[in-house]
Each structure stands twice: as C-alpha cells, then as structure tokens.
C-alpha cells in the first residue's frame, strides 16, 4: 500500500509540471517587486506565482501556490516559457 501511494506521489510530481508546460498556463501579471520579478500564473492545476531574483548573474526562482514544491530547473522552464515576447514588428514611418 505504501509503495502505491509513493508511486502515485512521484507520478503526480512529474505530471504536474508537464501539464502546465503544455501552454495550459497563462501569465496573469508580471511586476517588479523588491529587486525581483514576480509572475502571477493561472493554469489548469491551480494558481500560483514564480519570483525571479537575478543577482550577480545568478538566477534564483521561488515558487508559491502550485509551484511551491517545484525545482529550480522546473521553475525556470515555466517562467521562461511564459515571459511575454515582443512580436510586434510594426515600423513607424517618420514623415517630414
């Protein structure tokens, strides 16, 4: 019985990040707070936030909510996949 519970726990820990990484997650807000960037995220598995602190070239992530138990690698992958990208390639014409 204990092995079954441990197996289910391990499967869920592996499955949760992969579910969110399939673009079922959405960045609700991205704001600068106390020397870090905090991203509020809403996804199928729940809500949470990931905070990125970049000091001396070292990136450190902290997860809250559904992301609380994620590793630095998983948090980094999720954060980077949801950072808004500038896709507008419109050039303004300067007349006169």
The reply to whether 93 falls in a domain is: no
In the prediction, which pLDDT does 20 show? Answer: 47
> Cα separation of 86 and 68, whole Å?
29
In the prediction, which pLDDT does 23 show? Answer: 54
In the prediction, which pLDDT does 71 show? Answer: 96
- Structural domains of the chain, count: 1
What strands, in cross-sheet order, belong to the sheet with 58-65?
A: 25-33, 36-43, 46-55, 58-65
The reply to whether 6 falls in a domain is: yes
pLDDT tens for the chain, 96 residues long, are: 556 554 454 455 555 555 444 558 999 999 999 889 999 999 998 999 999 999 888 999 999 999 999 999 999 999 999 988 776 666 777 776
Show the domain range for 70. 2-82
């Amino acid at each position: 019985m204990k092995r079954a519970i441990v197996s289910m726990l391990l499967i869920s820990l592996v499955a949760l990040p992969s579910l969110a990484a399939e673009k079922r997650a959405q960045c609700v807000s991205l704001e600068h707070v106390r020397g870090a960037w905090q991203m509020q995220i809403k996804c199928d598995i729940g809500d949470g936030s990931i905070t990125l602190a970049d000091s001396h070239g070292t990136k450190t992530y902290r997860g809250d909510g559904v992301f609380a138990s994620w590793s630095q690698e998983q948090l980094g992958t999720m954060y980077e996949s949801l950072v808004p990208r500038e896709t507008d390639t419109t050039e303004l014409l300067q007349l006169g």
